[in-house]
Amino acid sequence: MEILDGKVVSQAVKDSVKEKAAQLKEAGNKTPHLAAVLVGVDGASETYVASKVKNCEEVGFKSTLIRLDANIEESVLIETIEKLNADEDVDGILVQLPLPKQINEAKIIGLIDPAKDVDGFHPVSIGKMVQGLPTFIPATPYGIMMMLEHYNIETKGKHAVIIGRSNIVGRPISILLNRNSYPGNCTVTVCHSHTPNLKEICLQADIIVAALGKPGFLTADMVKENAVVVDVGITRVADSTKKSGFAIKGDVDFAGVAPKCSYITPVPGGVGLMTIAALLMNTYNATLIKSTH
């Protein structure tokens, strides 16, 4: 069993992004600039956004964090997005999800300029991805693809089982693993909360991507020998031994499943770190495209 190490791969991606951004600047172009919008105060979202901003600094990007009150009207967020769309200096815009109930998430995502859609959630980005055209790939699936590539994991002709069909993880990774390139060319089965025979399906999988948000859901009896297991889950579980009062748990029962796998991602230290690296790569690409047009 080998660990797919998010620390190692994300650092390699970040080093490459840092170097490419420096070269872009040397050639007379601008510094990549990511604008993040955070609405309300939510522990997990705060942590994610803080980490994204910190990582921007690490690779020499400019970042702007816009904080808005949880009770704002939708129009305030719309105005914020429009300003960021019009701001020549901003290359990438991300709106941290989830948004408060009074705000229509799909409407907000649809307002982001597709040229700045570094989260890859805009319908234009998704449509292009489905058609295999160059575009921004949602950060978590993109990070998973980079990880598979880094470790030269064979995907062609493999049966990939995805647990979860969300717009941000399950569905896009199912499309990417199914496309005619590397990593890809898998036969993909997408499972969800209404899938009755999940265990039988998982037992046929060469590659499993667990993205359902249920800690320890995937157990050893659901995994065949030598499978590749990618754990996307991030759930905060109360843990009084931790200073924060919680531990981060993945969707895979790591202790039970790992000995059966050829490769497995840990949580923490796996896909989560890749998500941020992929976001930085998307932001760099947004700047590059702008600079060369």
Sites of contact with ligand NAD (CB under 6 A): 140, 163-166, 168-170, 191-193, 195, 198, 211-214, 232-235, 271-272, 275
Alpha-carbon span 193 to 21, nearest angstrom: 42
With CA atoms as reference, report the closest residue to 30 among 58, 57, 61.
Answer: 61
Beta carbon nearer to ligand NAD, 45 or 64: 45
Comparing CB distances to ligand NAD, the nearer of 53 and 72 is 53
Under 8 Å CB-to-CB from 53, ≥6 apart: which residues?
A: 36, 63, 65
Q: Residue holding tokens 């200073």? A: 243
Q: How many CB atoms lie within 10 A of CB 180?
A: 8
Catalytic residue among 14, 116, 117, 119: 119
To ligand NAD, the closest distance from the beta carbon of 210 in angstroms equals 8
Q: How far is the CB of 92 from ligand NAD (least distance, A)?
A: 17
Residue 96 catalytic?
A: yes
Catalytic (active site) residue 30: no
DSSP 180: S
For the bound state, the minimum distance from the C-beta of residue 211 to ligand NAD, rounded and expressed in Å, comes to: 4
Out of 14, 91, 96, 206, which one is annotated catalytic? 96
* CA distances in angstroms from 108 to 97, 100, 263, listed in the order given: 11, 12, 38
Which one from 14, 52, 116, 158 is the annotated catalytic residue? Answer: 52
Helices in 59-156 by DSSP H: which ranges? 74-86, 105-111, 123-130, 139-150
Give 209's contacts (C-beta < 8 A, 6+ positions apart): 144, 160, 161, 162, 163, 164, 169, 170, 173, 177, 230, 232
At its nearest, how many Å lie between ligand NAD and the CB of residue 215? 8
Q: Quick one: which of 94, 112, 41, 113 has its CA closest to 72? A: 41
| Phi (first) and psi of residue 162, to 5 degrees | -105, 130
Q: State which residue, 49 or 211, has the beta carbon closest to ligand NAD.
A: 211
Query: Between residues 32 and 266, which has the closer beta carbon with respect to ligand NAD?
Result: 266
CB of 195 to ligand NAD, least distance (A): 6
Q: How far apart are CA 276 and CA 147, in angstroms?
A: 13
CB of 90 to ligand NAD, least distance (A): 23
262 and 2 in contact (C-beta within 8 Å)?
yes
Q: Which is nearer to ligand NAD, 212 or 281 (CB)?
A: 212
52 is catalytic: yes
Q: Which amino acid is at 283?
A: T
Catalytic site positions: 52, 96, 119
